[in-house]
């Protein structure tokens, strides 16, 4: 096991020291506002730096984690060992014909807005999804009948060997809130979205309509990770939770939203362990009442807080 001071020394040969934060609290970087400290939180500024960091982590066997906007992740209170990489410096979006090419750290909401400005249709569904482009590909994010799979043409990734590859979207095995990105260990650098020329008023009307639906149904005033559970075959997770009388029930600072039963909100400085305890309470109650296993959509990563 490589010592932390050696990891720092090696990282500082690859990227500027200002772009390496030590013992950085992940809750400062997640939409959920949950998560203990990462040993090293790095924000590379070039593709070459990303490649070098991946090669170093592999060769030295240092644990490596990618963080987007943390809107689908719960990081435990003990934080994350090794290197956490954020693509927050990669936010450019450019047009090429009827395609929008977006870097992985751009917010998918901003890419959707850019499509509107460019009079391109196909990304309206993404106008309220608070993740990055990288996180949206990883999850095959979708809403209101649309998903990334419908408009993704290609992705540019760094593979586990640190090489840049351009992949057809079909190579990512995009399914219902899944892809093969975790299994292959790809780091998404860029997404090429193939869109259609559209009419500004129609695109805007659709985005306004979806925003209205979202704002009227979702508890956007509190940090959360969106819908916690996948849709179980033949049921709706939110309805099962509502019918289990769980809305408003909480542990510590986390509770099942009173506005949307499928959401668990960080209502009052919740810890990750409060949040996870509420998830487990919901799963157990729904299983007991309806015999349905709720599968999490949200990922839980990191270490438990060590008790002294």
Ligand X SMILES: Cc1cc2nc3c(=O)[nH]c(=O)nc-3n(C[C@H](O)[C@H](O)[C@H](O)COP(=O)(O)OP(=O)(O)OC[C@H]3O[C@@H](n4cnc5c(N)ncnc54)[C@H](O)[C@@H]3O)c2cc1C
Contacts with ligand X, residue ranges (CB under 6 A): 31, 66-73, 87, 104, 129-132, 134-136, 138-139, 141-143, 181, 186-188, 218, 220, 224-226, 299
- Shortest Cβ 308–ligand X spacing (Å): 30
Phi, psi dihedral angles at 38 (to 5 degrees): -95, 140
Measured CA distances, 128 to 73, 108, 146, 240 (Å): 17, 8, 12, 24
- Give 70 or 198: the residue with its C-beta nearer to ligand X: 70
- Shortest Cβ 35–ligand X spacing (Å): 10
- Give 144 or 290: the residue with its C-beta nearer to ligand X: 144
Distance CA 11, CA 163 (A): 18
297 part of the active site: yes
- Shortest Cβ 265–ligand X spacing (Å): 9
Q: Which of 49, 147, 206, 297 is catalytic?
A: 297
Q: Which of 52, 177, 224, 267 is catalytic?
A: 177
- Shortest Cβ 181–ligand X spacing (Å): 5
Distance CA 25, CA 269 (A): 14
Q: Which of 112, 121, 227, 244 is catalytic?
A: 227
Which residue, among 83, 55, 94, has the nearest Cα to 190 in the 3D structure?
94
- Shortest Cβ 198–ligand X spacing (Å): 21
- Shortest Cβ 289–ligand X spacing (Å): 26
**Residues 6+ positions from 101 with CB-CB distance below 8 Å:** 93, 94, 95, 190, 191, 192, 193
86 part of the active site: no
221 part of the active site: no
> Which residues are tagged catalytic?
177, 227, 297
């Amino acid at each position: 096991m490589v010592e932390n001071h050696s990891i720092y020394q090696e990282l500082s040969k690859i990227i500027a020291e200002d772009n390496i934060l030590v013992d950085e609290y992940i809750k400062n970087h997640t939409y959920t506002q949950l998560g203990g400290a990462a040993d090293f939180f790095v924000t590379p500024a070039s593709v070459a730096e990303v490649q070098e960091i991946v090669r170093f982590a592999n060769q030295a066997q240092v644990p490596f984690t990618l963080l987007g906007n943390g809107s689908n992740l719960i990081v435990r209170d003990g934080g994350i060992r090794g290197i956490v990489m954020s693509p927050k410096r990669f936010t450019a979006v450019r047009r090429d014909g009827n395609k929008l090419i977006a870097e992985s750290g751009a917010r998918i909401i901003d890419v959707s807005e850019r499509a509107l400005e460019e009079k391109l249709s196909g990304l309206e569904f993404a106008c309220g999804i608070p993740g990055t482009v990288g996180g949206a590909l990883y999850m095959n994010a979708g809403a209101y009948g649309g998903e990334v799979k419908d408009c993704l043409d290609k992705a540019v990734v760094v593979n586990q060997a640190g090489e840049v590859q351009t992949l057809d979207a079909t190579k990512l095995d995009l399914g219902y809130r899944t892809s093969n990105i975790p299994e292959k260990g790809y780091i998404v650098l860029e997404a090429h979205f193939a869109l259609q020329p559209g009419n500004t008023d129609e695109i805007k009307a659709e985005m306004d309509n979806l925003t209205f639906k979202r704002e009227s149904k979702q508890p956007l005033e509190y940090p959360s990770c969106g819908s916690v559970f996948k849709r179980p075959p033949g049921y709706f997770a939110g309805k099962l939770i509502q019918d289990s009388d769980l809305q408003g029930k909480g542990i510590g600072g986390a509770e099942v939203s009173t506005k949307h039963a499928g959401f668990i909100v960080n209502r009052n400085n919740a810890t990750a362990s409060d949040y996870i305890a509420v998830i487990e309470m919901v799963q157990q109650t729904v299983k007991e009442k309806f015999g349905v296993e709720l599968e999490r959509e949200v990922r839980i990563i990191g270490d438990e807080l060590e008790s002294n």
